[in-house]
């Protein structure tokens, strides 16, 4: 009853105020995005003559986008090559770890779990130097895997990309473990016991019971990890460095800056091209993601 009455005299001053504030916030948050999109379709001339958030009627062009895709395609390829396996393996290993720490009973598992949790809080900056030394001196993949680089013709630069992939997997395991563990705690103990009585081994229980039930949580970790790994620049700069194997975030830094004037429209287009895959992942896994978050 109260609700309908509020709706009836809906145009009270209070409501107008609320809507005005909401509208203001929407504009505030969306304006930079709108400006970015509009700008990415402008020629350099039009960019100079119009306000950033207004469309340039005379100077519309898609050249910036095609140029961005051209310049970023190598980075895009490398990023996919690195981010997809890194995401999948960190989620998978995190899931297995969480299963071992949650649904199987053994001594000292709390201690091990605490180590994993601590791993989440190790800041990137703290490990940069050790990480660089590790990959160059202790685990020189460019030397160890030389036949592979020669055979595939990828070149030793890609040893850095492999190192980056492994680093992201390792760095992602703790948070994935934490996420999966909270999910596996809600899995019925009786059901796991029933599977044990049915004769399934620990591995088979994971494979046939736990893994199929984890789909929503995989959506959560896949989206989270993919976004993290795709957007990372710091590790890429340290481990991969400039060269053939650069990932897309590395390519993005330099784009549009080589010319006399910074080419903002090109930078905008490039930024959107770079962000597109993370957006797609959200769209593809969105429904499962919602299930996993609410589970």
Partner 1 sequence: MAELELDDLTKVFVEDDGNEIVAVDGVDVTVADGEFLVLVGPSGCGKSTTLRMIAGLESITSGELRLAGERINERKPADRNTAMVFQSYALYPHMTVKQNMSFGLEESTDMPAAEIAETVTEAAEMMGIGDLLDRKPGELSGGQQQRVALGRAIVRDPEVFLMDEPLSNLDAKLRSKMRTELQRLQDDLDVTTIYVTHDQTEAMTMGDRIAVLDDGVLQQVGTPLECYHEPANRFVADFIGEPAMNFFEVEVQGDRLLAEDFAYPVSNETLSTVGDRTELSLGIRPEDIELRTEASSPHDFETVVDVVEPTGDENNLYLTFDPDASEPDTFIATTGGMNRIEAGQPIVAHVPEDAIHLFDADTGQAVKNRSLDDAETLGRAV
Interacting residues with partner 1 (CB under 8 A) = 188, 190-191, 193-200, 204, 208-209, 212-213
Q: Is the Cβ–Cβ distance between 224 and 126 less than 8 Å?
A: no
Q: Report in angstroms how near the CB of residue 201 gets to partner 1 at its nearest.
A: 8
Judged by beta carbon, residue 148 or residue 200, the one nearer partner 1 is: 200
Measured CA to CA, the distance from residue 292 to residue 295 in angstroms comes to 5
Q: Report in angstroms how near the CB of residue 199 gets to partner 1 at its nearest.
A: 3
Judged by beta carbon, residue 188 or residue 258, the one nearer partner 1 is: 188
Contacts of 144 (CB under 8 A, 6+ apart): none
Judged by beta carbon, residue 11 or residue 110, the one nearer partner 1 is: 110
The dihedral region occupied by 261, where left means phi > 0, alpha psi between -120 and 50, and beta the remainder, is: beta
Judged by beta carbon, residue 99 or residue 158, the one nearer partner 1 is: 99
Judged by beta carbon, residue 133 or residue 196, the one nearer partner 1 is: 196
Q: Report in angstroms how near the CB of residue 204 gets to partner 1 at its nearest.
A: 6
Q: Report in angstroms how near the CB of residue 206 gets to partner 1 at its nearest.
A: 13
Q: Report in angstroms how near the CB of residue 213 gets to partner 1 at its nearest.
A: 6
List alpha helices for the chain, DSSP H: 2-8, 13-40, 44-49, 63-102, 109-120, 124-133, 141-144, 146-152, 157-184, 189-197, 202-205, 211-213, 215-231, 234-235, 248-254, 264-294
Measured CA to CA, the distance from residue 209 to residue 217 in angstroms comes to 14
Q: Counting every residue, how long is the chain?
A: 295
Q: Report in angstroms how near the CB of residue 189 gets to partner 1 at its nearest.
A: 9
Q: Report in angstroms how near the CB of residue 212 gets to partner 1 at its nearest.
A: 5
DSSP label at 42? B
- Provide Rg for the chain, Cα atoms: 25
Q: Which residue has the tokens 């830094």?
A: 253
Phi, psi of 48, rounded to the nearest 5 degrees: -70, -25
Judged by beta carbon, residue 159 or residue 205, the one nearer partner 1 is: 205
Measured CA to CA, the distance from residue 4 to residue 17 in angstroms comes to 19
Paired residues of 42 in beta bridges = 60
Judged by beta carbon, residue 113 or residue 226, the one nearer partner 1 is: 113
Q: Report in angstroms how near the CB of residue 55 gets to partner 1 at its nearest.
A: 50
Measured CA to CA, the distance from residue 68 to residue 273 in angstroms comes to 7
For residue 177, CA distances in Å to 171, 224, 232 come to 11, 13, 20
Judged by beta carbon, residue 66 or residue 109, the one nearer partner 1 is: 109
């Amino acid at each position: 009853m109260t609700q309908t009455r509020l709706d009836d005299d809906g145009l009270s001053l209070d409501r107008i105020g609320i809507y005005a504030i909401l509208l203001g916030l929407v504009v505030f948050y969306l304006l930079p995005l709108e400006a970015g999109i509009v700008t990415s379709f402008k020629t350099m001339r039009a960019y100079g003559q119009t306000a950033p958030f207004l469309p340039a009627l005379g100077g519309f062009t898609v050249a910036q986008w095609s140029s961005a895709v051209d310049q970023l395609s190598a980075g895009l390829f490398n990023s996919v090559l690195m981010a997809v396996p890194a995401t999948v393996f960190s989620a998978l290993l995190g899931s297995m770890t969480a299963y071992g720490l949650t649904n199987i009973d053994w001594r000292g598992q709390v201690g091990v779990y605490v180590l994993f949790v601590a791993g989440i809080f190790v800041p990137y900056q703290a490990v940069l130097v050790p990480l660089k030394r590790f990959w160059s001196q202790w685990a020189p993949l460019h030397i160890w895997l030389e036949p592979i680089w020669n055979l595939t013709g990828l070149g030793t630069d890609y040893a850095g990309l492999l190192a980056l992939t492994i680093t992201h997997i390792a760095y992602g395991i703790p948070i994935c473990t934490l996420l999966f563990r909270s999910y596996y705690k809600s899995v019925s103990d009786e059901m796991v016991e029933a599977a044990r009585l049915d004769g399934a081994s620990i591995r088979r229980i994971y494979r046939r019971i736990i893994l199929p039930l984890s789909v929503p949580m995989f959506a959560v970790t896949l989206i989270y990890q993919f976004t993290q790994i795709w957007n990372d620049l710091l590790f890429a700069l340290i481990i991969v460095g400039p060269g053939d194997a650069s990932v897309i975030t590395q390519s993005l830094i330099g784009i549009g800056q080589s010319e006399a004037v910074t080419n903002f429209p090109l930078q905008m287009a490039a930024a959107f091209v770079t962000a597109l895959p993370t957006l797609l992942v959200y769209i593809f896994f969105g429904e499962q993601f919602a299930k996993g978050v609410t589970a």
